[in-house]
């Protein structure tokens, strides 16, 4: 009995340096459906892997990667050693990239290894590319990999840590594929992988690193080792703090003083603290009524604007790990899911970021999901929910896909905390158990970055 037909359509491009031209690293070919911003993001992604080793051999060395691009699609790619460039310098590499929407990537099992037969490793001058198509129904699912894998490695990925396999053993690098394919599909659809990188600081969740590129400051217990790197809001790892034992009387005096200080702070009139983080100053929920659909009935909305809004909303749903169910590309339905995902409903946390997300308003009953709803109306309601009135008004002025992308970038900058490594800017006790739950929520929101 044959399997169900799973046909995936994709765009593709080739980037690298080759013996047959003198352009250095550049784009050799691209299909017509590739957006310019996809190509820009793809070249940056390839460059982010670092300088390839000069000793790499074309007949042996290659890598496979998968990562969601800032411009929207998933990029799956095979990088392969090309030997020497046109000047005879070793270390030339080329990358064949495939671009998929989040939905198509999930349909393909969220695994770049299912596309092995699609990747190109042999290149020539004047190559041309068209949109590709692959029938995955005849390809056996990779999840049945029976290689023994330590389940704690997958758990580290689930918790948001980055895993680095330091090894020069190609057989051990194969274990990365096994770990990826044995992880849950939801994990694969929201994490990134490269089977080989040429520097340790790459922005991939799972990666293999050559020992020759590993920092001398890190220990080398053997030729192969795992490194687990915390990635919680880009905070630096905290060293455990030993307890300081004080005499009982001194401890009571200090405790009394602390109670008095806390009491004064609690009842002292609060002024604007001047705490500045990008777009996250304390705001009160709006009292004004939500936007009305009738106000947008006569709003001219080109088809390419509607498509751009839906593409951006679907991308945000993917990043927030929202179960889209049967949304059927309705802009109001997407926006409603996003507003719900942004709203923090956990224990109260006394911090400016927590107040921002706990004050996200419930989706108004008047904004009924319907097939003929205006896409920019959905943006206006979303801006109302997250208490950004200027973007609510700005949505009415959108007239092109470029302005759609600018609107979402502006909303992203207003929502995302710019905390870096300065933990004091968060405004809460990092060891507070209630803070931990909010931190999970904030980690989720940070995926919009």
**What pLDDT score was predicted for residue 139?**
59
pLDDT digits (tens, 9 = 90+) for 413-438: 888 765 443 344 444 455 555 566 67
pLDDT digits (tens, 9 = 90+) for 17-33: 998 888 888 999 999 98
Do 373 and 278 touch, CB atoms closer than 8 A? no
**What pLDDT score was predicted for residue 233?**
33
Taking 90 as the threshold, does the pLDDT of residue 352 lie above it? no
**What pLDDT score was predicted for residue 348?**
66
**What pLDDT score was predicted for residue 420?**
41
Task: Report the DSSP beta bridge partners of residue 142.
Answer: none
Taking 90 as the threshold, does the pLDDT of residue 313 lie above it? no
Taking 80 as the threshold, does the pLDDT of residue 171 lie above it? no
Q: Is 410 exposed, middle or buried (0-12, 13-18, 19+ CB in 10 A)?
A: middle
**What pLDDT score was predicted for residue 312?**
86
Taking 70 as the threshold, does the pLDDT of residue 12 lie above it? yes
**In the chain, what are the domain boundaries?**
1-139, 149-231, 293-448
Q: Is 161 exposed, middle or buried (0-12, 13-18, 19+ CB in 10 A)?
A: middle
Q: How far is CA 122 from CA 64, 78, 352, in A?
A: 15, 11, 54
Q: What percent of the chain has a predicted confidence (pLDDT) above 90?
A: 18
Do 336 and 321 touch, CB atoms closer than 8 A? no
**What pLDDT score was predicted for residue 289?**
85
Taking 50 as the threshold, does the pLDDT of residue 250 lie above it? yes
Complete DSSP assignment for 232-252 = STTPPPPPP-------HHHHH
235-239, 263-267, 349-353: least confidently modelled range: 235-239
Do 379 and 309 touch, CB atoms closer than 8 A? yes
- Separation CA 390–CA 120 (nearest Å): 47
**What pLDDT score was predicted for residue 223?**
56
pLDDT, mean over the chain = 75
* Burial profile 50-86: b = 16 or more Cβ within 10 angstroms, e = fewer: eebbeebebeebbbbbbbbbebbbbbbbbbbbbbebe
Residue 255's pLDDT band (boundaries 50, 70, 90)? Answer: low
User: What's the per-residue H, E or C state across 19-83?
Assistant: CCCCCCCEEEEECCCCCHHHHHHHHHHHHCCCCCCCCCCCCCCEEEEEEECCCCCEEEEEEEEEE
- Separation CA 40–CA 37 (nearest Å): 5
Taking 50 as the threshold, does the pLDDT of residue 75 lie above it? yes
Residue with tokens 């044959």: 2
Q: How many CA atoms lie within 13 A of 275 on its CB side?
A: 20
Q: What percent of the chain has a predicted confidence (pLDDT) above 70?
A: 69
**What pLDDT score was predicted for residue 69?**
92
Residue with tokens 């992308």: 405
Q: Which residue has the higher pLDDT, 58 or 343?
A: 343
223-232, 245-254, 277-286: least confidently modelled range: 277-286
pTM of this structure: 0.57
Taking 80 as the threshold, does the pLDDT of residue 267 lie above it? no
Taking 70 as the threshold, does the pLDDT of residue 205 lie above it? yes
- Separation CA 174–CA 147 (nearest Å): 10
**What pLDDT score was predicted for residue 238?**
29
Sign for the CA dihedral angle at 69, 71, 76, 82 comes to negative
- Separation CA 120–CA 263 (nearest Å): 68
pLDDT digits (tens, 9 = 90+) for 277-290: 333 333 444 557 88
Q: Which residue has the higher pLDDT, 378 or 424?
A: 378
**What pLDDT score was predicted for residue 58?**
73
Average confidence (pLDDT) over 349-358? 65
**Residues 24, 203, 212: CA angle, nearest 5 degrees:** 70
Q: Which of 106-110, 212-216, 283-287 is predicted most confidently?
A: 106-110
Q: Which residue has the higher pLDDT, 347 or 245?
A: 347
Average confidence (pLDDT) over 44-52? 89
31-40, 142-151, 201-210, 378-387: least confidently modelled range: 142-151
């Amino acid at each position: 009995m044959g399997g169900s037909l799973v046909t995936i359509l994709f765009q593709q491009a080739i980037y690298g340096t080759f013996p047959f031209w003198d352009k250095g690293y550049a784009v050799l070919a691209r299909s017509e459906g590739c957006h310019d911003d996809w190509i820009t993001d793809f070249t940056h992604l390839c460059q982010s892997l670092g300088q390839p080793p000069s000793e790499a051999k074309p007949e042996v060395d290659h890598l496979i990667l998968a990562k969601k691009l800032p411009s929207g699609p998933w990029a799956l790619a095979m990088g392969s050693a090309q030997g020497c460039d046109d000047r005879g310098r070793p270390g030339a590499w080329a990358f064949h990239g495939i671009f998929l929407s989040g939905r198509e990537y999930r349909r393909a099992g969220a695994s770049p290894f299912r596309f092995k037969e699609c990747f190109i490793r042999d290149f020539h001058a004047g190559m041309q590319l068209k949109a590709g198509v692959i029938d995955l129904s005849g390809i056996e699912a990779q999840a049945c990999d029976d290689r023994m894998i330590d389940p704690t490695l997958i758990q580290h990925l689930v918790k948001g840590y980055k895993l680095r396999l330091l090894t020069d053993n190609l057989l051990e690098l194969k274990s990365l594929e096994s770990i990826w394919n044995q992880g849950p599909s939801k994990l694969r659809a929201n994490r990134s992988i490269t089977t080989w990188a040429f520097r340790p600081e790459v922005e991939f969740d799972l990666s293999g690193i050559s020992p020759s590129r590993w920092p001398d400051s890190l220990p080398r217990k053997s030729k192969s080792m795992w490194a687990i790197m915390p990635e919680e809001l880009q905070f630096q790892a905290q060293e455990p703090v030993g307890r300081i034992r004080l005499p009982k009387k001194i401890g009571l005096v200090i405790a009394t003083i602390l109670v008095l200080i806390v009491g004064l702070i609690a009842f002292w009139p609060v002024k604007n603290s001047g705490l500045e983080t990008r777009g996250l100053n304390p705001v009160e929920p709006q009292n004004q009524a939500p936007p009305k659909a009738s106000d947008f009935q006569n709003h001219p909305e080109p088809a390419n604007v509607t498509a751009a809004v839906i593409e951006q909303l679907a991308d945000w749903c993917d990043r927030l790990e929202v179960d889209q169910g049967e949304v059927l590309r309705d802009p109001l339905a997407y926006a409603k899911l996003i507003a719900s995902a942004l709203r923090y409903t956990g224990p109260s946390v006394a911090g400016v970021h927590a107040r921002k997300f706990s004050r996200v308003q419930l989706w108004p009953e008047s904004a009924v999901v319907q097939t003929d709803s205006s896409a920019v109306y959905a943006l206006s309601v979303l801006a109302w929910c997250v208490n950004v009135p200027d973007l609510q008004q700005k949505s009415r002025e959108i007239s092109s896909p470029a302005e759609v992308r600018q609107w979402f970038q502006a909303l992203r900058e207003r929502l995302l905390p710019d905390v870096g490594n300065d933990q004091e800017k968060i405004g809460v006790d990092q060891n507070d158990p209630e803070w931990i739950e909010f931190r999970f929520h904030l980690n989720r929101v940070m995926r919009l970055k």
